[in-house]
Amino acid sequence: MKYTLNERNIDAVCKEAYAFLVRRKTNPKDLIHTKLSIEEVLLTYLSAFGSDVAFSVDYGGGLTKNRIRLTVPGPSLDPFASTEASSDEDLFLSNVLSRMGQRPKWKYARGVNTIVYTPSKKSRPDWEKLLFAIISAIVLGLASRALPANVSMAIRQDALVPLLDTFLGFLNAVAGPMIFLSVVWGIYSIGDASTFSEVGGACASDSCCSCAP
């Protein structure tokens, strides 16, 4: 859908985007954040390019994520560009979040600024997933016992074993980056060397030692 860049249309786009995300059962924590971010981005372009500039909004998505794409013609302008005061840690974390799909992505090509939001859909509760897994396991177990032994063995060797190997390989591929990101976030949260030294000093003090006399 195409609009003219002004405050009235910006407000209308924000409401439409919010309604779209609600219909698509978006994660509640991403609803307000995405709406406010879209408003801030469009206001940034309004301030830089002036009113009456044409822009468009496209809505879509897949099974696990939604997609809102803004396209604004004009000079190259990254609305998420970090200021000179931003630290290297902020830039690194911003790039990581962008690759994980947790931060809007901006690109400039052929005279058009494109911003893409991909907020996640609301996930089912863990107890529902666990209950579904238990019921599925019981049903498959009973079904396999009713089949002939050779058929049951063939299904196990040709389907279940490769599937399990694929799942374990995927789990190993995901676990490494997640552990790395957890360590990076822990280091980033410390702040500076003085805070780290205070933590070490506090742990070494007699008041924190359970075996101190």
Residues 149 and 48 in one domain: no
Say if CB 68 and CB 28 are below 8 A apart. no
Q: Which residues pair with 153 in a beta bridge?
A: none
Residues 8 and 103 in one domain: yes
Indicate whether 209 belongs to any domain.
no
Residues 41 and 63 in one domain: yes
50's tokens: 């002036």
- Please give the pLDDT value at position 64: 62
**pLDDT (tens digit, 0 to 9) for every residue of the chain, 213 residues total?**
899 999 999 999 999 999 998 888 888 878 888 888 899 899 999 999 988 889 999 998 776 678 899 999 999 998 887 544 344 444 444 444 444 445 688 999 999 999 999 887 766 666 666 677 677 767 766 776 777 777 777 766 776 677 677 777 777 777 788 888 888 887 777 765 565 566 555 455 544 444 444
Neighbouring C-beta atoms of residue 37, cutoff 10 Å: 21
For residues 72 and 50, give the distance between their C-alpha atoms in angstroms, rounded to a whole number.
Answer: 12
Residues 29 and 61 in one domain: yes
For the entire predicted model, the pTM comes to: 0.54
- Please give the pLDDT value at position 61: 77
Task: Tell me how many helices (H) and strands (E) the chain has.
Answer: 7, 5
Indicate whether 145 belongs to any domain.
yes
Indicate whether 211 belongs to any domain.
no
- Please give the pLDDT value at position 159: 67
- Please give the pLDDT value at position 165: 74
Side-chain-side CA neighbours of residue 83 (13 Å)? 1
- Please give the pLDDT value at position 70: 94
Torsion (CA) 100, 104, 106, 112 in degrees, nearest 10? 140
Domain at 103, CATH number: 3.30.565
Residue span of the structural domain in which 99 resides? 2-117
Question: What is the distance in angstroms between the CA of the first residue and the CA of the last residue of the chain?
Answer: 73
Residues 110 and 140 in one domain: no
Residues 9 and 42 in one domain: yes
